[in-house]
Structure 1
Amino acid sequence: MDGRRLGWRAAYELLALRVRRPEWAFMNYGYASDDAPALALSPDEEPDRLCINLYERTLAGADLRGRDVLEVGSGRGGGSAYVARHHGSRSVVGLDFSAAAVDLSRRHRRAPGLSFVRGDAQVMPFADASFDVVLNVESSHCYPSFAAFAGEVARVLRPGGTFLLADFRPADAVPTLLADLRASGLVLEAHDDVTPQVVEALRRDDDRKRALIGAWLPRFTHPLMRRFAAVEGSRGFAAFASGRTTYVVARLRKPVHA
């Protein structure tokens, strides 16, 4: 695993171990657009509206009603819980590599049909054809082999099932990402560059993220976590704003007949 992936994984694990408070439910960069739906959120969900917007953008075009859903890289569980509460799924399973994150999610996230499992995205602990929908939001950049992950997604999806992806890559690595998706045997139905909307969300959410880092994390971790959160002035934010890093959402389908 290269240094950049190790850095991301260290940041995720630090949050899981150091911030045991359930209020920090989402870790994605968010999505802000004038045409984003006016979601009806509870008071507990409202602070995370921009992060929830990114889930809604990723889910666009997919019907989760009555479906069995897997979120790979469920983190602190906020996204899986939101999907289970708002999208009428039969079940939602959140899978994460971090035992601390899974433990936090099991203790604090409640919704009908919701559960959390510890496991590796590249060797998922599920039988073939277990899920109708696989969701992966801002997690795959940490995986040693995206191609291996995409192959696992294809394995655990049922025929006709949907894979929904949201993540970022260096701009010159996006063609490789799309090639790996196509090589998985899934049909790439749609993909979009949503970097401008992510940058706008980062700007709007900057004060809140700085406050959370300052209040809940030790001072020595602040430089790493400001970069991790892509606050304004960090290298992470500059990479998005300059176009060096691209944020992609994609929807794929598993063929009914292989």
Structure 2
Amino acid sequence: MNVIDKLIARPNNFPFRRLIWKYWYNHLASKYENINIRLMNYGYVEQTNAQELKLDICDEAERYCIQLYHHVANAILLTESEVLEVGCGRGGGAYYVKSYLNPRSLTGIDFSRSNIDFCRQKYQLPGLNFELGDAEALQFADNTFDTVINVESSHCYQQTERFFTEVYRVLRRDGKFLFTDFRPKEAVAATRKQLQNAGFSILKEENITANVCASMELEHQRKIGIIDRQVPYIFRGLAGYFAAAKGTPMYEGLKTGELEYLCYVLKKQPSSISNNMRQHRSRLPETAEV
């Protein structure tokens, strides 16, 4: 095991992993704009006998990644909603939600200019827009959106609690926050508390680790094939970490339970309730950053 392996594998070294992920997001966006990847999440496989999600032929190659978006976004009815996706990446999830689930509008934001340029060139769909933006300082006015979506992105943020507060601010009254990401097992309770402190009530909380692990198993060969064909040899190890290939700390962390993959449906509480929670929080010790 080399030095990077050891650093990433250490259970208490989640901040170092965050730096690795953030570097790779930027690197992929700026250096490999021609790679035919629209979604970069770990995917989702239904564990029940649910009917298979119907997709256009052109979307089949990224089925499992799309299924994660479907599981998250289809938790509520989005028709006629004005939706914001924070951390849209290369835009495939935003495109799926807009074209299949029919919200009135969808705005995707990402911190990478290369990603936003890619999205604007790739997707030409009425009501679908992409903007450069910062998850921890959203550029939108208060009460702008009915729904905010965030898929496997927040683990890269410097201050997750600030992001949750910004989501609360831009949501309209009774707005919904559809949120999914992974956390170290010991940080799950802190994440839940951060969401509540920001002013959200939890309508639904799921541990979907098994569903994500099933996808990772099925996606392994496809992802390794893309890496071998399109990523220079010197960066293949890093790409493998990012893709959670078999044997990597990310893959093993989810398989062993060191990491948990969570999925939430959250509702914006009235400001009087959330303000009371914030006042109570101010009298408590600071919540640890995750």
Which position in structure 2 is the counterpart of 1:7?
Answer: 20
Residue 66 (1) aligns with residue 84 (2): no
Matches within 5 A, 1:141-160: 141-160=155-174
Matches within 5 A, 1:98-177: 98-177=112-191
> Unaligned regions of 5+ residues in structure 1, if any?
none
CA contact (8 A) 2:47 2:211 kept: no
* Counterpart amino acid of residue 79 in structure 1: G
* Counterpart amino acid of residue 25 in structure 2: Y
Which position in structure 2 is the counterpart of 1:97?
Answer: 111
Could you tell me which of 258, 261, 264 is aligned with 1:244?
A: 258
Matches within 5 A, 1:15-94: 15-21=28-34, 23-35=36-48, 36-94=50-108
TM-score, normalization: structure 2?
A: 0.86
Deviation per CA, 1:50-89: give whole Å up to 9, x if none: 0111111112431110110000000000000111101111
Choose 163-172 or 10-19, whichever is displaced more. Answer: 10-19
Distance 2:164 2:115 in 1: 23
Distance 2:256 2:127 in 1: 42
Q: 1:168 is paired with a residue of what secondary structure?
A: strand
Distance 1:29 1:237 in 2: 10
Q: Indicate the structure (1 or 2) with the bigger Cα radius of gyration.
A: 2
TM-score, normalization: structure 1?
A: 0.96
Following superposition, the deviation at residue 235 of structure 1 comes to 1.4
Q: 1:160 is paired with a residue of what secondary structure?
A: strand
Q: 1:136 is paired with a residue of what secondary structure?
A: strand
Q: Aligned-pair RMSD on alpha carbons?
A: 1.4
Following superposition, the deviation at residue 257 of structure 1 comes to 6.1
Q: Name the one with the larger helix percent.
A: 2
Following superposition, the deviation at residue 186 of structure 1 comes to 1.2
* Counterpart amino acid of residue 18 in structure 1: K
Aligned structure 1 segments of 4 or more residues deviating by more than 4 angstroms: none
Aligned-residue sequence identity (percent) comes to: 37
Distance 1:163 1:11 in 2: 26
CA contact (8 A) 1:11 1:228 kept: yes
Residue 219 (1) aligns with residue 237 (2): no
Change in CA separation of 1:90 and 1:14 when aligned onto 2, cut-off 3 Å: same
Distance 2:180 2:260 in 1: 11
Following superposition, the deviation at residue 160 of structure 1 comes to 1.1
CA contact (8 A) 1:85 1:112 kept: no
Distance 2:200 2:107 in 1: 21
* Counterpart amino acid of residue 151 in structure 1: T
> Unaligned regions of 5+ residues in structure 2, if any?
1-13, 273-290
Distance 1:34 1:169 in 2: 21
Give the paired residue count.
258
Deviation per CA, 1:167-207: give whole Å up to 9, x if none: 00111111111010010111111111000110010000100
Distance 1:119 1:165 in 2: 18
Which position in structure 2 is the counterpart of 1:182?
Answer: 196
CA contact (8 A) 1:189 1:252 kept: yes
